A = this chain, B = another copy of it.
Amino acid sequence: MNNYKDYVNHSKRITDINMSMAILGWDQETKMPKNGSKFRAQQLSTLAEISHELSTKKDFGILLNNLNSDNSLNSDQRRNISLSLKAFNKSKKYKSEFIVEESNLVSNAFQQWRLAKEKNDFSIFESSLTKLVDLRIKECEILGYVNHPYDALLDQYEPGLTTNEVDDIFSNVKEFLVPFIKRILRSNKIDDSFFYKKYSNNKQWDFGIELLKKMDYNFDSGRQDLSAHPFSTHFSPEDTRVTTRIDENNLSEMIWSCIHEGGHALYEQGILSENYGLPLGETISLGIHESQSRLWENNVGRSLEFWKHNYESLKKIFPKQLTGVTVDDFYKASNNVKPSLIRTNADELTYHLHVIIRYEIEKALIEGKIKVADLAKIWNLKYYEYLGLEVPSDTLGVLQDIHWSHGSFGYFPTYTIGSFYAAQFFNQAKIDNPNLIKEIENGNNKNLLNWLRKNIHNSGKRLDAHKLCEKITGEKLNFKYFKDYVIDKYSKIYAL
């Protein structure tokens, strides 16, 4: 390996392995028969190990260091090299044994979590989770950090984001949201009972596909399947998939999970194929990724204008269930603010309290201030404190999310950060295109997608998240945009 071309080839090889893992993962969640899990875990672990071996190859490191001081490269090439070198130096910190241990722990934890959730018994998951937390604490030391060990975990998902910054943001969020939600809860009630009638599986499925098509999700480069937990994944910009789940007694779950995952997938479909295997062929961060899903789900998909266009076709599919429900009723119901137990079903305001609870727990776990054994108790206390709810069971409480069973800590905050980026980007998109809202009302989302493609998707990792935000909106991430959006929207809905 001695030139930029060799770098590109090696980098593509690593990506090929990572994408193969993603394919095995997609299959595992959507198609794999139940007895397949043991060998699948082993196959994934082997691929992870090989990916790590390739990512930390000595020759590759030498090449990256050489190219990093090669002035003949253009700025895109320099950006690729700089990010790959950063990733190399990070990967080098992990021993192969860590990768294998992690892979095995996660496979095992996932099984235990599933069982625990099924049996409604957190204690089944406790030992696996304790091991995973210990592993992450060890990982913080391996990776290193300046101020707080949790910084090392945040950095995996949102490069550069620190615990201090999250603390700052979340204190603003609480300061605004907690009283604002209280005001809403004291005002008029919204009737969303029609969402919980019986909506047939097949018809919901068809409407979900229709929604994805309306968003210009390209089915020649993707597909939708069912899974226990909706997700999106990609194997290249030409093969970017989404999943959904359908509850026959809850129409809203399918609708906004389809739009949400569709938003993620549109980001991946907007990555340039020519950059496959390179940092410029990757999305920036989970926060920016989430900004795309949230922008479609909330700023677009929970707007009155979007439903002015789409409500009629929904009503055609479910005329009986939606008898007497106007588009305005539907719009209000889809923005009904109501503290609830399950994060993924939460409205776009209380949602962030769910995230804050998880963040506070994770931080305390990593600091060693609380024990996994006490997690269910702590969880329930916080749900009472922030949302005023009694948690009736572990399944509806501490066991609800898949993330910890995957060993993902430091991930949750990006959901909230993403929503704030979404508000800020969407505000800018409206400034850049004053017809945007009118277009959405006419069922034309193409210009919005083009704006996202041009400003965000196509450039991959060319800029860091905060620089991208500055470039597009003229300033860093600013909670104000979310706050203004929320005040404006909900004051009208609830006549505050």
With A and B bound together, what is the CA distance between A24 and B16 in angstroms?
A: 11
Which of the residues B31, B32, B238 comes within 8 Å of A36, measured between beta carbons?
Answer: B238
Q: Which residues of B contact A220 (CB under 8 A)?
A: 33-35
Which of the residues B36, B47, B238 comes within 8 Å of A38, measured between beta carbons?
Answer: B238
A221 near B24: Cβ-Cβ < 8 Å: no
A19-51 CB contact bits vs B (8 Å, 1 = yes)?
Answer: 110011001000111111011101101110010
Which of the residues B31, B221, B225, B273 comes within 8 Å of A223, measured between beta carbons?
Answer: B31
- Asked whether any CB of chain B lies closer than 8 Å to the CB of A276, the reply is yes
Distance to closest chain B CB from A479 (angstroms): 38
A46 near B239: Cβ-Cβ < 8 Å: no
Q: Which residues of B contact A218 (CB under 8 A)?
A: 35
- Asked whether any CB of chain B lies closer than 8 Å to the CB of A419, the reply is no
A236 near B36: Cβ-Cβ < 8 Å: yes
A219 near B33: Cβ-Cβ < 8 Å: yes
With A and B bound together, what is the CA distance between A13 and B53 in angstroms?
A: 13
- Asked whether any CB of chain B lies closer than 8 Å to the CB of A17, the reply is yes
Which of the residues B31, B36, B47, B223 comes within 8 Å of A16, measured between beta carbons?
Answer: B47
Which of the residues B27, B36, B46 comes within 8 Å of A17, measured between beta carbons?
Answer: B46
A239 near B33: Cβ-Cβ < 8 Å: yes
Closest B residue to A26 by CB, please name it: B27
Q: Which residues of B contact A351 (CB under 8 A)?
A: none
Q: Which residues of B contact A359 (CB under 8 A)?
A: none
Q: Which residues of B contact A301 (CB under 8 A)?
A: none
Distance to closest chain B CB from A90 (angstroms): 22
B223 near A46: Cβ-Cβ < 8 Å: no
- Asked whether any CB of chain B lies closer than 8 Å to the CB of A12, the reply is yes
With A and B bound together, what is the CA distance between A32 and B238 in angstroms?
A: 10
- Asked whether any CB of chain B lies closer than 8 Å to the CB of A230, the reply is no
With A and B bound together, what is the CA distance between A454 and B218 in angstroms?
A: 50
Q: Which residues of B contact A45 (CB under 8 A)?
A: 16
Q: Which residues of B contact A238 (CB under 8 A)?
A: 33, 35-36, 38-39
Given contacts A24-B23, A27-B23, contact A239 B35 (CB under 8 A): yes
Chain A contacts with B in 117-166, Cβ cutoff 8 A: none
Q: Which residues of B contact A20 (CB under 8 A)?
A: 20, 24, 43, 46-47
Q: Which residues of B contact A236 (CB under 8 A)?
A: 36, 38-40
A19 near B39: Cβ-Cβ < 8 Å: yes
Closest B residue to A19 by CB, please name it: B43
Q: Which residues of B contact A239 (CB under 8 A)?
A: 32-33, 35-36, 39-40
A contact residues, range: 35 or more
- Asked whether any CB of chain B lies closer than 8 Å to the CB of A222, the reply is yes
Q: Which residues of B contact A23 (CB under 8 A)?
A: 23-24, 27, 43
Q: Which residues of B contact A241 (CB under 8 A)?
A: 33
With A and B bound together, what is the CA distance between A36 and B22 in angstroms?
A: 14
- Asked whether any CB of chain B lies closer than 8 Å to the CB of A231, the reply is no
With A and B bound together, what is the CA distance between A62 and B17 in angstroms?
A: 28
- Asked whether any CB of chain B lies closer than 8 Å to the CB of A235, the reply is yes
B33 near A223: Cβ-Cβ < 8 Å: yes
Q: Which residues of B contact A35 (CB under 8 A)?
A: 218, 220-221, 238-239
Distance to closest chain B CB from A23 (angstroms): 6
Closest B residue to A239 by CB, please name it: B36
Closest B residue to A223 by CB, please name it: B33
Which of the residues B13, B31, B273 comes within 8 Å of A46, measured between beta carbons?
Answer: B13
Distance to closest chain B CB from A224 (angstroms): 10
Distance to closest chain B CB from A276 (angstroms): 6
Chain A contacts with B in 179-205, Cβ cutoff 8 A: none
- List chain A positions with a Cβ less than 8 A from chain B: 12-13, 16-17, 19-20, 23-24, 27, 31-36, 38-40, 42-43, 45-47, 50, 218-223, 225, 235-236, 238-239, 241, 273, 276
**6 additional contacts, CB 8 Å, given A39-B239, A40-B235?**
A16-B45, A19-B43, A20-B43, A23-B24, A35-B239, A38-B236
5 closest residue pairs by CB, A with B: A36-B239, A39-B236, A16-B46, A35-B238, A35-B221
A-B contact pairs, 28 of them (CB 8 A): A13-B46, A16-B42, A16-B47, A19-B39, A19-B43, A20-B24, A20-B43, A20-B47, A23-B23, A23-B24, A27-B27, A31-B31, A31-B225, A32-B239, A33-B221, A33-B222, A33-B239, A34-B220, A35-B218, A35-B221, A35-B238, A36-B238, A38-B236, A39-B273, A39-B276, A40-B236, A40-B239, A43-B235
